[in-house]
Amino acid sequence: MALERVVIRGSERSPLPNSEPVGVPDPTERVEVTVILRRKAEPPSHVEEPISRAEFARLYGARPEDIPPLEKFAGENDLTVVEVDLGRRSVVLSGTIANMNEAFGTQLRLYRCPHGVFRARTGALLLPADLGSIVVGVFGLDERPQASTRFRRLLAIGPRAAGDTSYTPEAVARLYDFPSGNGAGQTVAIIELGGGYRTADLNTYFQKLGIAMPSVTAVGVDGALNQPAGDPNSADGEVLLDIEVVGAIAPGAHIVAYFGPNTDQGFLDAITTAVHDVVHKPSVVSISWGGPESSWTAQALTQFDQAFQDAAALGVTVCCASGDDGSADGLSDGAAHVDFPASSPNALGCGGTRLESNAGKVTKEVVWNAGPGNGASGGGISETFPLPSYQAGSKVPVSVNASHFKGRGVPDVSGDADPGTGYQIYVDGRDAVFGGTSAVAPLWAALIAILNQQTGKPAGRINDKLYAAAAKKALLDITSGDNGAYKAGPGWDACTGLGSPDGAVLLALLSPAT
């Protein structure tokens, strides 16, 4: 009698556009997959007092009784249990390609795309019926590139526009009136899916700024390492931008870079490793990688969002870049798209502006939109996540797409992102000016580290407080410009959200005395 099998909900994969099959992988090659298990209970979406990571694992982690059935399944399919983490709800299984194909009812193939040759699958994954309610996601069989960086480098080609300039990160912080403080006592996690940093570059950069070198630690996830490529246009640019923006604004914070492979497995494992890290205990996570919501599996959208729910219960704020390609998010199908993971309602989506100033004062701030192909603030309406309660009073429109879905609006906040008014950084032995919403996520992460330090309390999922305080001028409303399908205007909009930060007002808002 054949064993009854069920589909892992949301595991369906479509072929990657612009790719072609070129064969099958060696059936004896060993691979590792991350199996995500159901929760004991749903954690609260918003907490005033965060709980410890140990307490979280006890209350909301995986159920210990769910491990033996999975171990039995692994043994029956010649798979090895490599790691079990109840807090992260993750079980790592190792086995050959042939055994993985049989265990999960799929057929792995090799595909060639502009990124190279990679292993991938199509269709859904299957499991024995007795595991159907226990397993909520399986990641790692498909290794297609999942996300892209969200930075734009300013290249000195052609005439500069009126008002173009560049800033050190601390100069941007001063323009936004960030409160005093250096983030001491806080750990800022940054998620990286490639590239790396050289300590010599960081030493040079911070010496030039006259700032003490911050503490920077690299953590490898799923075999990835801190591996600088030596090319500032590669992922190195992302890594150095993230570290240098946080380090220049909050040099007292401990910066921990979690390096994972650029796959949905690597990305998710890097996030859950950071959120549940009992050694470094981040209070803020900065993510400057993403991809159009439509490019993700349903299981990935759900599990990333649940990882951010974990973060909220632990008092950890997650800042995500909203994308650098306007309302289309880099796709050419004529529809509007939002970037994920910024579209998670448990993340702080960070959009982009063009910031002009004179004599240390902001003179003009508009939506970042440098024209077709040159970058614009990502933003729009999610086609996956419904409107969260904190946006209920923000007049978020329905999607401009045919669905007219009443979804989560992106971004929540914004900050300087135009390379024409970009950030001075140092990468792979040379000076450079970078922009993109990749710069805005670490900008907000550094601000939140300082706010946490000054208030003595982690901000956690700060979205609720920001939307509740919108009328108190805690953010600088951006009312001019567009990102393609959406226009800026008074109040929240799908280009710059609630606006750019006013650090002093935010500190007063979050301080216990008020």
Indicate whether 86 and 22 sit together in one domain: yes
User: What tokens does 87 get?
Assistant: 């807090």
The question of whether 49 is a catalytic residue gets the answer no
Q: Which of 85, 201, 236, 238 is catalytic?
A: 238
End-to-end CA distance of the chain, in Å? 67
Please say which residue of 114, 139, 164 terminates a domain: 139
| 389 labelled catalytic | no
Same domain, 263 and 328: yes
Residue 157 has pLDDT above 50, yes or no: no
Using an 8 Å Cβ cutoff, are 394 and 413 in contact? no
Q: What is the pLDDT of residues 56-93, one digit of tens each?
A: 999 999 999 999 999 999 999 999 999 999 999 999 99
Q: Do 380 and 436 share a domain, yes or no?
A: yes
* Mean pLDDT, residues 250-278 taken together: 98
Q: Which of 283, 304, 284 is nearest to 293 (CA)?
A: 304
**pLDDT attached to residue 150:** 83
The DSSP symbol for 302 reads: H
Instruction: Please report the pLDDT score of residue 304 as a whole number.
Output: 98
272 and 322 assigned to the same domain: yes
Q: Which of 89, 119, 139 is the last residue of a domain?
A: 139
Question: One-letter amino acid identity for 405?
Answer: F
In the predicted model, is pLDDT for residue 473 greater than 90? no
Last residue of a domain, one of 78, 106, 139: 139
Nearest-5° Cα angle at 453, 447 to 456: 130
**C-alpha pair distances (Å), 501 with each of 31, 127, 253:** 45, 47, 20
Q: Which domain range does residue 444 map to?
A: 148-510
The position carrying tokens 């998710």 is: 268
Same domain for 378 and 487? yes
User: Do 104 and 230 fall within a single domain?
Assistant: no
Same domain, 159 and 108: no
Total domain count, the chain: 2
Answer yes or no: is pLDDT of 156 > 70.
no
Catalytic residue among 32, 242, 310, 502: 242
User: By C-alpha distance, which of 414, 394, 442 is closest to 501?
Assistant: 414
Task: Please indicate, yes or no, whether residues 235 and 315 belong to a single structural domain of this protein.
Answer: yes
Domain shared by 186 and 130, yes or no: no
Task: Tell me the pLDDT band of 46, cut-offs 50, 70 and 90.
Answer: confident
Report the CATH number that the domain containing residue 321 is assigned in CATH.
3.40.50.200
Same domain, 262 and 310: yes
Among 11, 166, 438, 500, the active-site one is 438
Query: CA of 158: how far to CAs of 245, 355, 372, in Å?
Result: 27, 20, 17
Specify the pLDDT at position 114.
84
Nearest to 171 by CA among 416, 496, 509: 416
pTM of the model: 0.97
Tell me which of 373 and 157 has the higher pLDDT: 373
Nearest partner of 101 among 78, 132, 130, 83, judged by Cα:
78
| Predicted confidence (pLDDT) per residue in 382-422, tens digit | 999 999 999 999 999 999 999 999 999 999 999 999 999 99
pLDDT at 317 over 80: yes
Q: Is the pLDDT of residue 496 over 60?
A: yes
| Alpha carbons 124 and 140: distance in angstroms, whole number | 14
Q: What percentage of the chain has pLDDT greater than the value 90?
A: 88
Q: Region 226-235: what's the mean pLDDT?
A: 90
Q: Which residue has the higher pLDDT, 113 or 78?
A: 78
Q: Please, which pLDDT band fits residue 1 given cuts at 50, 70 and 90?
A: very low
What gap in Å lies between CA 279 and CA 285, rounded to an integer? 15
Handedness of CA 477, 481, 484, 490 (dihedral sign): positive
Same domain, 231 and 265: yes
| Residues 359 and 492 reside in one and the same domain | yes
Instruction: For residue range 221-230, list pLDDT tens digits in order.
Output: 999 999 999 8
Q: What is the separation of C-alpha 81 from the centre of its chain, rounded to a whole number of angstroms?
A: 28
